[in-house]
Structure formats: structure tokens, C-alpha cells
Structure 1
Amino acid sequence: MMEETNTIVAVTAALVLFIVTWMMFHPQRRTSLRHKHVVVTGAASGIGRGLAIALCEAGAVVSLLDVNKAGLDEVAAAISQPERVHIFPCDVSDYTQVETALSTAVATSQRPVEILINNAGIVNGKKFVDLTPTDMQRTMQVNTMSQFFTTKVVLPAMLERHAGLVVTVSS
């Protein structure tokens, strides 16, 4: 089960990185990430970690959200340009924490959120029949509600500026 999950994560990460790279260099769409403020949720490991590193290398200023502060510290240490990365330990299933983290991210970067990548997600690993109602609620809070929460916080400013991008990662 764990090998299958690792394979799925690796394939999804490769696909997301391919898409981001393609968008940056596609000749008809000259999207530059240079100095763009990008928020990545679920950034302490897996796909989020890979995105954070790739986005910084592409010139973005990246705000990373995750409940795992130690993982965020490791990602920040892996980035060669530390001035491009800001970490915000945050439980994205908690709307109040999301509001606080994102308003702090905007203040810290001195830029509005221009790209939001909703990447946070959890996998319980239990068989469905063994899940408790609490397990199911936690999964829905992190995998679904967090995307509503982060988008709700950043979307008004994007609409006001008539600019912005929200990306949802799912597997």
C-alpha cells in the first residue's frame, strides 16, 4: 500500500512539475514567475516540496504553508535563495489559521498572492471499513475544506486586481 502511494505521489509530482515548467516556457504563453508571490500549501514534503524548490528556481517569491514546521524548515534550507522563501506553519483545515498565515504572508512578501497552489492533502492509509468518523472528517477538512478556505481568503484581492491564478492539486 505504501509503495503504491509513493508511486502515485512521484507520478503526480512529475506531472505537476512538467505542467509548471511547460507553462513557464511555452512559446505562446510567456508566463514569467519572476518576482511573483506564490503560495503553496502542503509544502513540507512530496509534491509541495518539489513545487516550492522549482518555483524559487524560476524566480518566484514563495510562501509555504504546512502543519509540519520541521518539514518547512528543511524545504527552506534546501532552497539556494533563502530570501525567496517564507514559511508559515499552519493547519490549513482551520480557517482562522489560514487567514492569519495568508495575511502575514502578504505583509512579509509585500506583495499580494498572485498564484495560489492548493496542494495540501492527507492519506489515512486505513481500509475504508476501518475509518472512524473522525478520520473521515479530518480527511475532508484537509483535502477539501482547506482549498475553499485558502481560495476564499485570496480570491477577493485577485478579483479586484483582475489577475491571479488558483491551482488545485488532487490525486
Structure 2
Amino acid sequence: MKFFLQCLQFLPLLIIFTLESLLKLFIPKKRKSVTGEIVLITGAGHGIGRLTAYEFAKLKSKLVLWDINKHGIEDTAAECRRLGAKVHAFVVDCSNREDIYSSAKKVKAEVGDVSILVNNAGVVYTSDLFATQDPQIEKTFEVNVLAHFWTTKAFLPVMMKNNHGHIVTVASAAGHTGVPFLLAYCSSKFAAVGFHRALTLELQTLGITGIKTSCLCPVFVNTGFTKNPSTRLWPILETDTVARSLIDGILTNKKMIFVPSYYNIYLILDKFLPERALAAINHLQNIQFEAVIGHKTRMK
């Protein structure tokens, strides 16, 4: 009976919070300043990471750029400097925990305390389960998920001490729904979304209000990692479009950033529509890209 009464008391709050959320859709959100903030971006030598670095450079942030590709990270750093930003570039293997920890120590000693962490580095292998090699599966999780733990453990303590910071998880729409021949990638991005949600709740439970969290979830992005992607329902996104959406989400402290924004409607339908209806929608999407199929070889 007590639980029933508590539910009745909660109902008015639920209605108020829902109406408040709907009202906020029509009110422009206040954008915070990131001028002078130390921003660390992993995977900054290419794609979304590179374009995100450019956007932060325009906003006069101090940049710390990580990437395994020396030439890529140097090119990104050069352009950021041209845009007027102070930049520190490090060659870091985000699949290697010890490399992450040792590089984090160098950043603290040579640059200062990171206040915005963008966990962007990622790998993708377009193949079915049998054509995906065991080391490729391991590396997918090491870079796409485990690296988020190591970087966050390295830089979060000072953020918590200062009650100020922002942790950004670059995930994917594939972290909310499965895609054939991206089994390892989808699994890792589901884990990345879970990391973001659990970290967000953990910080709230600890009463730490000054550290914000954001999770970026775009559909296919034209980064070159996936060859010739196409779909009937969603656009193939350009990296600059995604980077601008990410920056806008960070500046307005948006927790979940879908690109395009209406992808959220599909996820709502995914929770309520019957299985056959979802199968029809998946057929309508007609997602295609170049992939290696190995199951027939294994069955011989």
C-alpha cells in the first residue's frame, strides 16, 4: 500500500517534468564558454576527431590531440594552430592501457588539467562474425570501449576535485540498434552508450553537479572507414556536420546527441512496434556497404 501511495505522489511530478521538457524544446539553450579550457580529443588525426578539434580551436580552447597516426595528428595540429589555438599533439595508441596512462601523466605535467575529455578514437571492421579475426574483435573493444575507462580514470579525479568538467563519449547510432556485418562494432558501441549512461548516473548519485556528460550517436558518417555506405532512410553524413552537432551538444550540455536528430523517433518506434513491423522497417532501410563475408567458407 505504501508503494502504491508513493507512485501516486510521483505521478504529478512525472507530468510536471514531462511538460517542462517539452517547453524547453522551444526555449533557446544557453551556450557555455569553452575559451581557455583544456580539451583532450582522442583519434584527432582523422574524421570527426579532426573536425571537432577545428571547432574547439575556433572557440579558443587549448587543445591536446591524441592519435596513433603521427602524420594525421601533425596535420590536425597545424591547422588548429593556424586557427589561433594552442595545441599539444601526442602519438598515443588507444588500444594500449599503459600508453594511455603514461601519456596522461605527460599531459598533466606538460599542459595542465584536462577539463573536457572527448573519447572519440574508434575502429571498425566491416565483416561478418567468421571473417572478423579474433585480434580485430579484441582491438575493437580495446579502442571503442576500454580506452574510455582508462582516459576517464586518468582525468576525472581532478574534474571531480574542481567539480568542473565534461566527459564526451563518441558512440554511434549502431550503439542503439544492430547492423549486419558490423557485429563487433555494434557491440562495442552499445557498450560505449552504456558507459555514458552509467557514468552519468554515477556522477549524479555522488552529487557531482559540475561535471557534464554527452554522448554522440550519428548514423553513417563519410569518414572512409566504411566503404560505399548507403541507406534509404538516413543521410550519409559529412564529418563537419557531425562535428558541429557535437560542439553544439557540448556547449548546451546535451546528454544524448543524435545526428540526424530525428533518429530518436526510430528508437522510440523500436521499443513499441511488433517484431514484424520492425523487420519491415529494416528491410525498407536497405543498409548497404562493402563487407567481407566468411560464413560460407567456414561451413565447407
**TM-score class normalised by the smaller sequence:** 0.7 to 0.9
In 1, Cα distance between equivalents of 2:89 and 2:49:
12
1:70-109 correspondence runs (5 A): 70-79=71-80, 80-81=82-83, 84-109=86-111
- In the alignment, what sits opposite 1:38? 39
Aligned alpha-carbon RMSD (Å):
1.6
Preserved CA contact (<8 Å) 1:37 1:114 = yes
| SS across alignment from 1:140 | helix
Deviations 1:99-156 (A, max 9, x none): 12122122222x3110000001001222332112111111111111001110011111
- In the alignment, what sits opposite 1:20? none
1 or 2 for the larger relative contact order (CA 8 Å, sep ≥6)? 1
In 2, Cα distance between equivalents of 1:102 and 1:115:
13
Change in CA separation of 1:78 and 1:108 when aligned onto 2, cut-off 3 Å: same
In 1, Cα distance between equivalents of 2:31 and 2:108:
25
TM-score, structure 1 length as denominator?
Answer: 0.79
Does residue 42 of structure 2 align to residue 56 of structure 1? no
Change in CA separation of 1:82 and 1:125 when aligned onto 2, cut-off 3 Å: farther
Counting matched residue pairs gives 145
| SS across alignment from 2:104 | helix
Change in CA separation of 1:82 and 1:89 when aligned onto 2, cut-off 3 Å: farther
Larger Rg: 2
| SS across alignment from 1:128 | coil
Preserved CA contact (<8 Å) 2:115 2:159 = yes
In 1, Cα distance between equivalents of 2:49 and 2:41:
7
- Structure 1, unmatched stretches of 5+, are 1-25
* 1:34 to partner: Cα distance: 0.6
**Amino acid aligned to 2:76:** V
Q: Which runs of 4+ in 1 moved over 4 A?
A: none
Deviations 1:7-51 (A, max 9, x none): xxxxxxxxxxxxxxxxxxx96434111110000001110000001
* 1:170 to partner: Cα distance: 0.9
| SS across alignment from 1:74 | helix
| SS across alignment from 1:165 | strand
Preserved CA contact (<8 Å) 1:117 1:169 = yes
Preserved CA contact (<8 Å) 1:76 1:82 = no
- In the alignment, what sits opposite 2:143? 142
Comparing 126-135 and 155-164, the one that deviates more: 126-135
- In the alignment, what sits opposite 2:132? 131
| SS across alignment from 2:130 | helix
Preserved CA contact (<8 Å) 2:60 2:85 = no
| SS across alignment from 1:167 | strand
Does residue 122 of structure 2 align to residue 116 of structure 1? no
| SS across alignment from 1:107 | helix
| SS across alignment from 1:143 | helix
* 1:83 to partner: Cα distance: 5.3
* 1:82 to partner: Cα distance: 6.2
Deviations 1:36-71 (A, max 9, x none): 000000111000000111101111001011111110
| SS across alignment from 1:112 | coil
